[in-house]
Amino acid sequence: MKKPIPMRPYRDPEEDRNRVRQLAGRILQPMTPRQRRKYLLSQPTPYRRHLYKYTAAENDAHLRDAIVGNRLFLCGADRLNDPGELQLEVRLPIDVPEALKALERWLHRTSLLKWKDRVVQAREIYKQGNFASIHQAAGDKTRVETGICSLTTDPHNQQMWANYANGHQGICLQYNVALGYDTLCEAVPVIYDDLPVVEIFGRNDLEDPIRRMVLRKHTAYLSEKEWRLVRPTQAGQSALVHHTALSGIILGVRALAELEAKARDFIEERRRSGMSAPKLYRATMRGGRISVRRI
């Protein structure tokens, strides 16, 4: 009976995310909101002043969770609108020596084997012919477990109002990035590309192609100007945002008076709980374009 390969202890990706948040906290926390905004706009990938979240607002419990509970839902890949998203294709190196070196490097990163044992194990895995499935399985597992919250920088997009806000009958939530920096600074812009993410086994650590996989979207959706809040292993959970970050609630052009009344009730509930009160807006159609006015 073969002995199992001694593997390195699993490193929770949540630990890496927490370290990034702590670093951002040390830099941004002492600043005023205006100083934070200037700092975020000066970054190589400038953060926007506001990020927006479209929602159908058909479920009162979910709507209250977003407005009063200050939560952003993290959906899995099965709930994204593009069925081609989060696809990672792993290919084998054509050259045999390159494949063996790739396997040895992978074992060096992930196992506790000594060099001679790694070389022997690499040859054994290569003979089995299934070593690419190691990466492929990891990519598939990430696809199922990764939690994603889709945000945008555009509250005037008619297509998004139609697709994500129940045909203009829903709402769009406005978040101030400088006030909700501890969570919203995790959001990054999506890369729009027609080509799938292809990874040659062993050329890089799996973290890089998985990141590219999660942040890639087809160019057919370019107009959405999407930013994504991504958290590994948290599909189906929620991300908590500071209550001051929710600065506005925009009602759709066709939103009914009942939805406006619910929004006002939730804003009043926030006031009674000592939270900030977001401004209430309504989207209107003028000259074939959507504009937003306060009500």
Question: pLDDT tens digit string along 179-237?
Answer: 998 899 888 888 888 766 555 555 555 455 666 677 888 888 999 999 999 887 888 89
Question: pLDDT tens digit string along 9-31?
Answer: 434 444 545 555 555 666 777 77
- For the ranges 90-99, 157-166, 252-261, 271-280, the lowest mean pLDDT is seen at 90-99
Q: How far is Cα of residue 275 from the mean position of the Cα atoms in its chain?
A: 26
> Computed from CA positions of residues 230, 233, 238, 242, in that sequence, does the dihedral angle turn out positive or negative?
negative
Give the pLDDT score at 171: 97
Beta bridge partners of 91: 200
Which residues, other chains included, contact 227 with Cβ-Cβ below 8 Å and sequence gap of 6+? 48, 51, 150, 151, 152, 153, 187, 188, 189, 190
